[in-house]
Structure 1
C-alpha cells in the first residue's frame, strides 16, 4: 500500500515575501489559515473515512512556510495533531517550509511533536532565477537546510519548479542535479503555471515571460524524472495537483491533469528509440511490463504513431511480466 497524506493547507501565513508565481488561494482552494479547532475537525472527518495503511500515513501541513508561522500558532496545530497520531497509529507529521526557515532550534521543537518529514521548497538552485522570482533565499541556504534536516534524521523532501522566469532547460537540469546531490528521500517537480494576480501574470501579459510549450515541458520533465529515479530518488509528485479550480483560473502555463503519465510515456518513447531493432522485421512488437502498457502506447496512441513514423514499420505493444519499469524488449517473430 502506498504512502498517503492527510493534508492541511496553511496558505501564505509564514511567507515573508510574495514569490513571482504564488497565489495560494488558487493552488490550495483555501481562503484563510485554519484555526486549531478547524484543523481538529478536518482531521477527525478525514481519518473517519481514511483507508490507507496508518504506518504509511502522515498528517501533512502544506501550503505556507510552516516553520515560519508564529510559534504559538505552529505549536497549537502540532499539538492538535498529536491525538490523531496516537489514536490512529499514524507514521507522523510532514511539513513543507522555506530553506531559510530551518534552524537547529526549530528542528528540535519539531522532533518533540513527532514531525517525521520536512519538505523544502527549493524551486531552483540557480541564484539568479531565485532572485528574479523573489524567493528571498539562496541555493546555499537550500544546501545548509538540507544538511541540517538529514543530520537530525528527518526524512528530507525537496521541491523544484520547472520553467520559472529566467530559467532555461539547462538551468533546470543543473538544479535537479544539485538537488539530487543533496540525497533527498523524495522529490516533487512542479512545472510553472501562471496564476491570476501574480507577478508572472503581469510579465506574461507584457510579453516578458514566454511560456514553455507543453511538448518541451514534457521532454524536460521526462529527463528530470529519469535523473532522479536513476539515483533511486522517488519523484512523489510531477505536475501541479489536478484541480478544477486551477484549470479554470490559470492564465497560462504547463498544466495537464495527467502530466506525470505524459512524462513517463515520453521516457518509454526515448527508451524504445534506443532499443536495437533487427532490420529484417517488417512488424515490430515491443514488450513492456503489463502495468506499463498504456504509458508505452501513449495517449491517443501517440508513441505508437511516432515510432511507426520513426522506424517506417508497424508497431504493436504486448505485456511481459518479467520486465521491470522502463525495460523494453523486442519480441522475436
Structure 2
C-alpha cells in the first residue's frame, strides 16, 4: 500500500514548488445565474444567500486587500509566503470579461501569489475566459473548479442545479489541453442517491481527464430549500460512518493521478441545521484514514479505466 492512501493537495504543491502553498479565499462579490433570475431565483436547494462567501466584498475590501490581510497570519501559522488566490463564493466566471480580468489581475499582482483557483459552474465559461486563463497558465498555476455535484441528470434536476451532465462534459472538453488544471466538485449524500449512484459518479468522471477532485458532504443550512425538506422529514442526512465509507469507496475508483483536494466541507456553525457531526471535521478525517487502513485500500485500487 502506498505511503498515503490518496494523492493529496499539499504533497502536490510541495512537488511543484518545493514547499507549502496556502490557498487564500477571496470574495469578488459575484453572483450566480441560478440565483439572479437568469435560470432561477432560488438557487440550488442546499445554497443560501451567502453562497459560501466571506462578506469581504460587501465590506468594501478589495481583492488585493483581502489577500494582504491574510499573508502575515499564514506566514506565521503555516510557515509559507506562497499563496493561491481562491475565488470561492458563487460563480467566479459570471461577469463581464473586463471585470473578470481586472479581479484576476489584481490577485496575481500580490507578491507571493503563485496562481489562481477559480470556482465556477460548467454553464458559465466562455472561450474568451478560457483563453485568458490559458494565457495566465503559461507562467502561473491555474485551476478551474467546476461544480458538478453528481453525474446523474435526475439528481441535478432534483437539486435545481440548472444544468445537466452534458454541460459539464462540454466545459471539461473546452478546458482541457490549455494548461489549465480542472477540479470537479462532487457532493455525497444528495437526495435520492444510493451508494451505487455515488460510485457511478466516480466511475464516470474517472476517465474524463480531470486533474483534481473535491468531495463535500451534503449538510443542511438555514434558509435553504433543503432545510424545508429536512424539517418535513423528506430528506435524511448521511450518518458519519456512511459518509466515511462512501469517501473511501469513491476515491479508490479514481486514477492515482487525480489530486484529492478535499475530503469534506466546513459548515458555518451558526448556519448549520444538520448533521451535527459535520462540525467534527478532524474526527471525520481520522475515520477516513482509519478506514483506508482497515480495508487495505487506496486511491486507484478499484480503478478499471485506461
TM-score range, shorter chain: 0.7 to 0.9
Is 256-265 or 200-209 further displaced after alignment?
256-265
Distance in 2 separating the partners of 1:41 and 1:91: 17
SS in 2 for 1:153: coil
- Which segments of 5 or more consecutive residues in structure 1 lack a partner in the other structure? 273-323, 326-333
Secondary structure at the counterpart of residue 176 of structure 2: helix
Report what 2:269 is aligned to: 247
2:281 counterpart residue number: 257
Q: Are 2:27 and 2:56, in contact at CA under 8 Å, matched by a contact in 1?
A: no
1:189–1:238 contact (8 Å) kept in structure 2: yes
Mapped partners of 1:11, 1:179: distance in 2: 30
- Are the structure 2 counterparts of residues 32 and 164 from structure 1 closer, same or farther at C-alpha, using a change threshold of 3 Å? farther
Q: 2:119 matched to which residue of 1?
A: 96
Equivalenced residue count is: 267
Question: Which residue is equivalent to 1:300?
Answer: none
Residue equivalent to 1:111? 134
Greater helix percent: which structure?
A: 1
Aligned match of 2:292: 267
- Deviation, 1:249, is 2.7
Q: Name the structure 2 match of 1:282.
A: none
Structure-1 separation of matches of 2:70 and 2:44: 31
Whether 1:201 aligns to 2:227 is yes
Q: Distance in 1 between matches of 2:127 and 2:180?
A: 12
**What is the aligned partner in structure 1 of residue 31 from structure 2?**
13
TM-score, length of structure 1 as denominator length: 0.72
The residue matched to 1:251 in structure 2 has which SS? Answer: strand
Q: 1:45 aligns with which of 65, 69, 76?
A: 69
Output one character per residue of 1:255-281: Cα deviation in whole Å (capped at 9) or x when no partner: 132222221211112229xxxxxxxxx
Cα shift at 1:177: 1.5
In 2, Cα distance between equivalents of 1:38 and 1:107 = 24
1:123-202 paired onto structure 2 within 5 Å = 123-202=149-228
> How far does the alpha carbon of each residue in 1:175-210 deviate from its partner, in whole angstroms, 9 at most, with x for none?
112122212221100010100011111011111112
SS in 1 for 2:148: strand
In 2, Cα distance between equivalents of 1:103 and 1:261: 40
Aligned residue in 2 for 1:31: 55
Provide the rounded CA distance (Å) in 2 between the counterparts of 1:112 and 1:152.
9
Cα offset, 1:131, TM superposition: 0.5
- Structure 2 alignment gaps of length 5 or more: 1-18, 36-42, 300-306
Q: 2:247 aligns with which of 214, 221, 235?
A: 221
Task: Output the CA distance in 2 between the equivalents of 1:83 and 1:101.
Answer: 25
Please say if residues 30 and 94 of structure 2, whose CA atoms lie closer than 8 Å, have aligned partners that are also in contact: no
**Deviation of the 1:216 alpha carbon:** 1.2
Q: Distance in 1 between matches of 2:85 and 2:97?
A: 19
State whether residues 9 and 64 of structure 1, in contact with CA within 8 Å, keep that contact through their aligned partners in structure 2.
no
C-alpha displacement of 1:141: 1.0
Higher relative contact order (CA 8 A, sep 6+): 2
> Per the alignment, do residues 205 and 15 of structure 1 end up closer, same or farther by CA in structure 2, a change over 3 Å counting?
same
Give, in angstroms, the shift of residue 11 of structure 1.
6.1
Give RMSD over aligned pairs.
2.8
Q: Which SS does the other structure have where 1:45 is aligned?
A: helix
Distance in 2, matches of 1:93 and 1:266, equals: 33
> Which has the higher Rg, Structure 1 or Structure 2?
1
Aligned to 1:78: 104
Q: In the TM superposition, what are the counterparts of 1:54-65 in structure 2 within 5 Å?
A: 57-65=83-91
- TM-score, normalised with respect to structure 2: 0.78
